Structure 1
Amino acid sequence: MNTIHFYKKVTSSLLLTLTLFLAVTSCEEYLEEQPSTLIDSGYVYNTEEGLKSGVVSLYKFNRDRYDRSIEDFMGAVLLSSRSDLAFNRSGYTGLMGRYQRGVSPIDLGANFVSTLFWKHYYNMANKATDIINAAEVVKGVDEDTRNKIIAEAKFFRAQSYFFLYRMFNNIYVTTESVTVDNAFDLIQDKSSKEEIFALLNSDLDFAIEYLDWNVTFGRVSKGTAKHIKAKVAMWEGDWEEAKTQALSVIEDPNSPHSLVSSTADVFKGDRNHSEQLFVIQSQDNVLGGGDATMMNANYVTQYFQIPGIEANIEQGGRGFSRVLPNLYLLNLLAEDPNDTRDDDTYFRLKYYYTSGVNAGQEITIYEPITDLNNPSSTYTRYYQRLHPSCIKFAQEDDDPNSYLQRSNILVYRLAETYLIAAEAILRSGSGDPLPYINTIRTRANAAPLSSVTLQDILDENARELAFEGERWFTLKRMGADVLNFQMRNYAGDGEYFPNNFGGDRDPRVNWQDHFINFPIFQEDLDLLGPNYPQNDGY
């Protein structure tokens, strides 16, 4: 048995995958699909076009996490469900988000996490490493082309290891390709934090140097790499480096990035605008464009179940109420009555009849609990059918009658860069963070702040970036005390949803300090050396 096959694949395994998925493409044609059955290992690793095809394949593999249909496309929504901003209503995602599953190295949830994250990102890192090592020695490729190929592959390797570190902590990184000689070597120990960040920074520095600012839509750029480099620096506590990289993306005269003018425009259309730093595309004629997913459906309530209203894209499309904004988040959004982020741009708070005698009128037939001494008798239906929804992932050309959609996914955007800049400046004590956080608030029509604290930044992060997959990481980076406090005080809806309150469905009760790291699935751990460490608490 190959005792480390989750980490290392021999060349023939990578070749098989590439044969199935790669397209022969040039830099100019980028992601246009041109399938070929003539790809072999000599072509992939020993020719310029083959290496370019290998790079394109990384985009496809990157999207795989969103495309996997495991438990209602959990890979697309799991991290958002496990935050202080979410109410998890039902389904297996609900069990994961309430910390009823995925909390033991041997439970089914940990198996899902292994497939969607651990194996996924190790496969990505290994494929990127193979491309890097081949590109460094291939003959007949000019240096500029060689460096661009390596730069993109190094970006994806850094992103993969960074993701793994933030989730699992006890990880192993390598720059070696698998060979016949080392394919069965056991990995004996985790890499040190110093080793991990040395590789992340080396890969990202190379990517920053050789990637261009202006690239074909969907491709990673110098701005994408600088944004991730700023995030890495924040995890190291290198506030000056984080500030430098973030401000470069925001203010460098060569940077093509700027905030779009209103919150209504951020998630509009195909997301091909000045604020995007990386968008995963979903198009029929794009290699790696992906399959239909239920990402949007997870976030939208089942308003269409009410007679007199049909599912429509304006009100969020067709959803099934898995992961909803909780009262903590909704109250943050409501602090400024002029804030547009809960004004049918990021979140929809109200629903309206679309047919019959009540057409155009607001639906109010179910009510939440607002008075704990006089609770509503319809609050469960309210959460199922009238609860506010996140509508960031609805797209104008979606099919309103289907849970499955093929929408582009905005992964990284400049608004987060602004908040990184504000926090890095505040923590470094050099400069004024107010212009950066207030730029975000002003765009949302919220009143500017006159002073700023770390809590202000954390709150603004919630309003602006909720359900975009980074909140849990932000809490963890801010430290165990912050993460534990937020989860124990705000996750779920507490007393206002009595069905979950105080028992085994209450995330505030279920949260444990050691959940700061995900468990390494036992079957993965068994494939490592006998002394390889499981994360503490498991």
Structure 2
Amino acid sequence: MKAKFIYSKLKGNLLLALALCFVVFSCEEFLEEQPSTLIDSDYIYTTEEGLKSGVVSLYKFNRDRYDRRIEDFMGAVLMSSRSDLAFSRTGYTGLMGRYQRGVSPVDQGANFVSTLFWKHFYNITNKATEIINAAEVAEGIDEDVRNQVLAEAKFFRANSYFYLYRMFNNIYVSTETVTVDNAFNVINAKSSKEDIFALLNSDLDFAIEHLEWTDTFGRVTKGTAKHVKAKVAMWEGNWEVAKTHALDVIEGPDSPHSLVASTADVFKGDRNHSESLFVIQSKDDLLGGGDDTMMNANYVTQYFQISGIESNIEQGGRGFSRVLPNLYLLGLLSEDPNDTRDDNTYFRLKYYYTSGSRIGEEVDNYAPITDLNNPSSTYTRYYQRQHPSCIKFAQEDDNPDSYLNKSNIMVYRLAETYLIAAEAMMRSSGNPLPYINAVRERANATPLTSVDEQAILDERARELAFEGQRWFTLKRMGQDVINRQIRNYAGDGPYFPNNFGGDRDPRVNWQDHYINFPIAQIDLDLLGPDYPQNDGY
């Protein structure tokens, strides 16, 4: 079994050239790469244009997680479903979000996580390492090109290992290219935390030094690398480093980044604006420009099934109602009536008839439970068809009549950098208020007069919900924090009786050891006999 796995790794390395043929010809337009008529592995790893094409392939591989059709595109939404901010309504994503699946090394959910995360990110780290090691010794190439190739590849390696560490904890890192000589070496032990963070910081430091502040839209830049460096420092508890890099991005003299004027502008258009730090591009007019996904549909209700209202982009597009903002999140958004983040910018709270005799009137077919002593008889339909939805991932040129669309995906943005700066200052030195309040004031919310950990958590919820960061934030803040938030707020408790108190209740199902995902047994079997499974599994 292990030999088969290692062979597949070697085979994958040989097939990289074939993948690059596709990527080079299909991605050069939006990443400004030049195609070649002769592509082979020697070309990729020994020539300047080949190495540049190899870097482009990393962007494609990184996008694959969102494009995979596994269980309604679970790779795009899983991390949002597992949080204190979500109601996970149905489907396999619902099972995962409610901690009914993905909680054992041998269940199907763990196998999906293996494909979408463990194997996915190790694939990127392996490819990035191949490119890095080849670029370091390649002869006859321009030094600026060499450093650009190394900087982007090292960013992707660091970003991928960082994701793996945050999910699984027990991971291994390597800077060694897989070759015929080492292909059958078995990994017997996880890497130490010190070794993991040493590699993350080394790669990110190189990327920061050699990347420019601006580049073609979609490519990582110095700001992207500094943002991730600040996130890594927060996991280390190195508040001063986190603060330094966050402030460089926010107010450094060469930084081109600034918050856009209003919350309505953050997810407008193709996300190519001053707040964007990293956007995964999908282009309809490019052969390799990404696949259609259900990312947006997973977050939006099936309101269009109500007579008199048709699916339209303004109200979120055509939704499937898998992962919805829960009452805890909606309560945080409603604390300030002037906060615009629930004003059809990040979230849509109300829907309106688009045809028939009630055009323009608010849809009122179903009612949620608001009085536990007199529960609504239509609450399940309300959650399916009329519940507030996250509309961050609806794009103006999406097809409103399809669940499947090809839209750009915001991964990192400046508002989070501001909140990192605020938290780092709150935990060390400096005044966090200007940074957390910059985010609030942009949303027309009343400025805070003090900041503590809960204020940071609450503001991150309002600003960054459903962008894939929440579960990691809870984990970073510690076992007590993630236990408290999940057990008190995940799902909607008694306001959705069908899930309350039983095996569909995430508050009941949560266990301490879920703070680390299980390593799927199919992956553990390919490692050495002493490689540790995460505690509790």
> Shorter-chain TM-score category?
over 0.9
In the other structure, the counterpart of 2:82 is 82
The alignment partner of 2:502 has SS state of coil
In the other structure, the counterpart of 2:151 is 151
Flag as ranges the 4+ runs of structure 1 deviating above 6 A: 25-28
The alignment partner of 1:217 has SS state of coil
- Is this contact kept in 1: 2:464–2:470, CA < 8 A? yes
> Cα–Cα, structure 1 residues 382 and 330, in superposed 2: closer, same or farther, change >3 Å?
same
In the other structure, the counterpart of 2:211 is 211
In the other structure, the counterpart of 1:101 is 101
Q: Which amino acid aligns with 1:381?
A: R
- Is this contact kept in 1: 2:27–2:56, CA < 8 A? no
Deviations 1:268-324 (A, max 9, x none): 000000000000011034575210000000000010000011000000000011000
- Is this contact kept in 1: 2:227–2:246, CA < 8 A? yes
> Cα–Cα, structure 1 residues 41 and 424, in superposed 2: closer, same or farther, change >3 Å?
same
In the other structure, the counterpart of 1:382 is 382
The alignment partner of 2:497 has SS state of coil
- Is this contact kept in 1: 2:30–2:217, CA < 8 A? no
In the other structure, the counterpart of 1:281 is 281
In the other structure, the counterpart of 1:120 is 120
Q: Which amino acid aligns with 1:325?
A: P
In the other structure, the counterpart of 1:459 is 458
In the other structure, the counterpart of 1:505 is 504
- Is this contact kept in 2: 1:326–1:492, CA < 8 A? yes
The alignment partner of 1:71 has SS state of coil
- Is this contact kept in 1: 2:128–2:156, CA < 8 A? yes
In the other structure, the counterpart of 1:520 is 519
Q: Which amino acid aligns with 1:132?
A: I
Question: How far apart, in 2, do the equivalents of 1:290 and 1:24 lie?
Answer: 14
Deviations 1:61-120 (A, max 9, x none): 000000000000000000000000000110000000000000000000000000000000
- Is this contact kept in 1: 2:7–2:183, CA < 8 A? no
Question: How far apart, in 2, do the equivalents of 1:229 and 1:424 lie?
Answer: 13
Question: How many angstroms does 1:16 deviate by?
Answer: 1.5
In the other structure, the counterpart of 2:254 is 254
> Cα–Cα, structure 1 residues 80 and 6, in superposed 2: closer, same or farther, change >3 Å?
farther
- Is this contact kept in 2: 1:270–1:408, CA < 8 A? yes
Question: How far apart, in 1, do the equivalents of 2:395 and 2:190 lie?
Answer: 42
Matched, 1:473 2:466: no
Question: How many angstroms does 1:7 deviate by?
Answer: 10
In the other structure, the counterpart of 1:187 is 187
Q: Which moved more, 1:139-148 or 1:432-441?
A: 139-148
In the other structure, the counterpart of 1:447 is 446
Q: Which residues of 2 match residues 94-493 of structure 1 at below 5 A? A: 94-286=94-286, 288-428=288-428, 430-493=429-492
Q: Which amino acid aligns with 1:494?
A: G
Question: How far apart, in 2, do the equivalents of 1:42 and 1:495 lie?
Answer: 62
RMSD of Structure 2 on Structure 1 (CA): 1.6
The alignment partner of 1:486 has SS state of helix
Question: How far apart, in 2, do the equivalents of 1:379 and 1:444 lie?
Answer: 30
> Cα–Cα, structure 1 residues 25 and 308, in superposed 2: closer, same or farther, change >3 Å?
closer
Q: Which amino acid aligns with 2:193?
A: K
In the other structure, the counterpart of 1:46 is 46
- Tell me the TM-score normalized by structure 2: 0.97
Question: How far apart, in 1, do the equivalents of 2:233 and 2:197 lie?
Answer: 9
- Is this contact kept in 2: 1:102–1:109, CA < 8 A? yes
Q: Which moved more, 1:154-163 or 1:16-25?
A: 16-25
Deviations 1:429-486 (A, max 9, x none): x110000000000000000001111100100000000000010000000000000000
Q: Which amino acid aligns with 2:508?
A: V
Gaps of 5+ in 2: none
The alignment partner of 1:504 has SS state of coil
In the other structure, the counterpart of 1:535 is 534
> Cα–Cα, structure 1 residues 7 and 301, in superposed 2: closer, same or farther, change >3 Å?
farther
Question: How many angstroms does 1:142 deviate by?
Answer: 1.7
> Cα–Cα, structure 1 residues 433 and 56, in superposed 2: closer, same or farther, change >3 Å?
same
Question: How far apart, in 2, do the equivalents of 1:514 and 1:435 lie?
Answer: 37
> Cα–Cα, structure 1 residues 461 and 397, in superposed 2: closer, same or farther, change >3 Å?
same
- Is this contact kept in 1: 2:65–2:117, CA < 8 A? yes
Question: How many pairs align?
Answer: 536
Q: Which amino acid aligns with 2:490?
A: A
Question: How far apart, in 2, do the equivalents of 1:71 and 1:21 lie?
Answer: 27
> Cα–Cα, structure 1 residues 37 and 514, in superposed 2: closer, same or farther, change >3 Å?
farther
Question: How many angstroms does 1:15 deviate by?
Answer: 3.4
> Cα–Cα, structure 1 residues 263 and 305, in superposed 2: closer, same or farther, change >3 Å?
same
Question: How many angstroms does 1:26 deviate by?
Answer: 13
The alignment partner of 1:9 has SS state of helix
Q: Which amino acid aligns with 1:348?
A: R
Q: Which amino acid aligns with 2:366?
A: Y
> Cα–Cα, structure 1 residues 465 and 514, in superposed 2: closer, same or farther, change >3 Å?
same
- Is this contact kept in 2: 1:441–1:448, CA < 8 A? yes
- Is this contact kept in 2: 1:480–1:513, CA < 8 A? yes
Q: Which amino acid aligns with 1:220?
A: V
Question: How many angstroms does 1:145 deviate by?
Answer: 1.1
> Cα–Cα, structure 1 residues 15 and 31, in superposed 2: closer, same or farther, change >3 Å?
farther
Q: Which moved more, 1:508-517 or 1:27-36?
A: 27-36
> Cα–Cα, structure 1 residues 305 and 169, in superposed 2: closer, same or farther, change >3 Å?
same
Question: How far apart, in 2, do the equivalents of 1:368 and 1:30 lie?
Answer: 45
Question: How many angstroms does 1:18 deviate by?
Answer: 3.1
The alignment partner of 1:52 has SS state of helix
The alignment partner of 1:65 has SS state of helix
Q: Which residues of 2 match residues 7-86 of structure 1 at below 5 A? A: 9-10=9-10, 13-22=12-21, 23-24=23-24, 31=31, 38-86=38-86
Question: How far apart, in 1, do the equivalents of 2:453 and 2:480 lie?
Answer: 13
- Is this contact kept in 2: 1:31–1:286, CA < 8 A? no
Question: How far apart, in 2, do the equivalents of 1:92 and 1:383 lie?
Answer: 17
Q: Which moved more, 1:28-37 or 1:435-444?
A: 28-37
- Tell me the TM-score normalized by structure 1: 0.97
Question: How many angstroms does 1:13 deviate by?
Answer: 2.5
Q: Which amino acid aligns with 2:67?
A: D
Larger helix proportion of the pair: 2
- Is this contact kept in 2: 1:8–1:126, CA < 8 A? no
Question: How far apart, in 2, do the equivalents of 1:249 and 1:29 lie?
Answer: 27
- Is this contact kept in 1: 2:26–2:288, CA < 8 A? no
Question: How many angstroms does 1:27 deviate by?
Answer: 12
Question: How far apart, in 1, do the equivalents of 2:20 and 2:334 lie?
Answer: 46
- Is this contact kept in 1: 2:128–2:153, CA < 8 A? yes
Deviations 1:28-61 (A, max 9, x none): 9662587656311110001000000000000000
Deviations 1:181-210 (A, max 9, x none): 100000010000000000000000000000
Question: How far apart, in 2, do the equivalents of 1:477 and 1:7 lie?
Answer: 36
Question: How far apart, in 1, do the equivalents of 2:222 and 2:511 lie?
Answer: 39
Question: How far apart, in 1, do the equivalents of 2:41 and 2:16 lie?
Answer: 11
Q: Which moved more, 1:139-148 or 1:74-83?
A: 139-148
Q: Which amino acid aligns with 1:296?
A: N
